[in-house]
Structure 1
Amino acid sequence: MEAIWATSRDRDTRSSDVFERFMQLRLPTFGGAPDPVQAEHLLAKIAKMMGPLECTDSQRVTLAVYLLEGEAENWWSSIQRGVPVGYAWTWAGFRTKFLEKYFPRSCWSAKIAQFLKLEQGNTTVAQYEAKFDKLSRYIPKALEDEEYKLEKFKEGLKPGIQSRLCTWDFGDFPELVDKAMRVEKDFERTVRSRSPTRDAPFRLRQPPPAPPLPIGRPRPLSTRALPLPPGGGCSYCKKNNHSTPNCFRRMRD
């Protein structure tokens, strides 16, 4: 009997320690906001932060429920009324129920469509891998079938990188990503080696070409419109049809 009580005390002590360490994490609460991405992000964060706590599956559910408040807390209470008293929830079971409520099937379908159309495009391999990893969590086949995951990732790579990897065999996904990054760096080094460097000799710029000269001789100014002087003609050329200041010959000479 004493051994049973000792085991019970030890279990209670460990549970208390887990709860105290859990409270120190200061995880955000969830009130049932209509944001599927936020709901999924909360579950992922809980799973990540609870890993070091070394808690049991049922303890993880209990701590996750502790973070529910408002509408989300009322929802879980209604779920509890539909199961037998003392029913032991697993983390997988709680996660399924939670996502059915706050991450509906329509959102899952949208994520699946994004995954199937995902390509590297103008991003780096690292950026493509991050997006691929995020979306693959919604695809059971990508989580369970490593070969499918490898082929899908290769299909979305840039054609140049993809062609370099087609003859390689990869044991797992990290190996494929690492090789793709290496090929990408090789391409970058090749591009840099072909482009002009900053240390290239300075070249003098050629001056812009002069504008073309007008064709033909310029036509002389007409003197017909010049007003005649009231008291005589030009004292320079001795003509009477213009004044001295308006003399074309004087201006030419």
Structure 2
Amino acid sequence: MANPGGNVPQQPCSSIIGGIQQFTSALMNVLSGHRLNWTYIEIVRSHEVTELKSVGNCEEVKQWLEKMEDTLEAIKCPLNEWANTVTFFIKGDARSWWKSMKESCPPSSWMTWSAFRKCFITYFLSPSYRLRKRHEYLEFRQGDLSITEFDSTFRRLAKYHDGTYDNPQAQIDQAMLALN
């Protein structure tokens, strides 16, 4: 039978595998200056998330938390690592709060992101700020907003309403009321 590749000799499979191994080895040598096993803290830091040091401005604290959540989601950090990763970036006066929170929890207990977030918001966002956001959420209506704009605003506001943050059915019910 004639060689279908013309004058090109057929190479055994082992030479292809050897080529792949050589390529992989060369690639690893090129990347040797780059760390392949970064921690989530290092990855978040590379996304230019700042540390939370002051606790006075509710809007800044809210934006910091949103940036942190967006970053953790984007880097696909497992949810069970969120609280541990976020607390590394809490410094200064804000760090005192976190230390007291850790001391009040039993040593063997693990704080979920939902529990951490609720404690964080309760402490750092004033009652009047949270009440204003809750009212904004409950009174929100679609009006002239597109579905995309509605969804984005609705989800942002829902984060600050304790009754719906962990309750998808309550969010659906509220969204139905808010739609035109």
CA gap of 1:30–1:55, structure 2 versus 1, over 3 A, is same
**Structure 1 residues 15 and 58: CA distance shift in structure 2, 3 A:** farther
Is residue 115–residue 135 contact of structure 1 (8 Å, CA) maintained in 2? yes
Q: Establish whether residue 152 from structure 1 lines up as the match of residue 177 from structure 2.
A: yes
Give the counterpart letter for 1:77 in structure 2: K
Cα offset for 1:73? 0.7
Residues 197-253 of structure 1: per-residue CA shift (max 9 Å, x gap) = xxxxxxxxxxxxxxxxxxxxxxxxxxxxxxxxxxxxxxxxxxxxxxxxxxxxxxxxx
- Listed as ranges, the matches of 1:96-175 within 5 Å are 96-120=118-142, 123-125=144-146, 129=150, 130-139=152-161, 140-141=163-164, 144-145=168-169, 147-154=172-179, 157=180
Contact kept? 1:111, 1:135, Cα under 8 Å: yes
In structure 2, distance between residues paired with 1:74 and 1:15: 31
User: How has the CA–CA distance of structure 1 residues 92 and 136 changed in structure 2, closer, same or farther, with 3 Å as cutoff?
Assistant: closer
Count the aligned residue pairs: 142
What's the TM-score once normalised by structure 1's chain length? 0.47
Q: Which residue matches 2:17? A: none
Farther-moved stretch of structure 1 (21-30 vs 49-58) = 49-58
Contact 1:32 1:102 in 2 (8 A): no
Separation in 2 of the partners of 1:103 and 1:43?
Answer: 11
Q: 1:66 deviation in Å?
A: 1.2
In the other structure, the counterpart of 2:83 is 61
Identity across the alignment (%): 16
Amino acid in the other structure paired with 1:100:
T
Is the 8 Å Cα contact of residues 57 and 91 (structure 1) preserved in structure 2?
Answer: yes
Q: Find 1:23's aligned residue among 21, 25, 45.
A: 45
- Assess if the C-alpha contact under 8 Å between 2:79 and 2:113 holds in 1: yes
- Check the 8 A contact 2:40/2:85 in 1, yes or no: no
Larger radius of gyration: 1
TM-score (norm 2): 0.63
Higher normalized helix content (fraction of residues)? 2
Whole-Å separation in 2 of the counterparts to 1:40 and 1:110: 13
> d(CA) in 2 for partners of 1:136 and 1:75?
25
Question: Aligned partner of 1:90: which letter?
Answer: T
CA-to-partner distance for each residue in 1:176-200, whole Å, 9 max, x for gaps? xxxxxxxxxxxxxxxxxxxxxxxxx
Q: CA RMSD in A?
A: 3.0
Q: 2:71 aligns with which of 46, 49, 71?
A: 49
Distance of aligned partners of 1:14 and 1:108 in 2 relative to their CA distance in 1, 3 Å threshold? farther
Task: State the partner residue of 2:61.
Answer: 39
Q: Which has the higher contact order (CA 8 A, sep 6+)?
A: 2
Distance 1:15 1:80, change over 3 A: farther
In the alignment, residue 85 of structure 1 is paired with which amino acid? Answer: P
Deviation at 1:72, TM superposition (A): 0.2
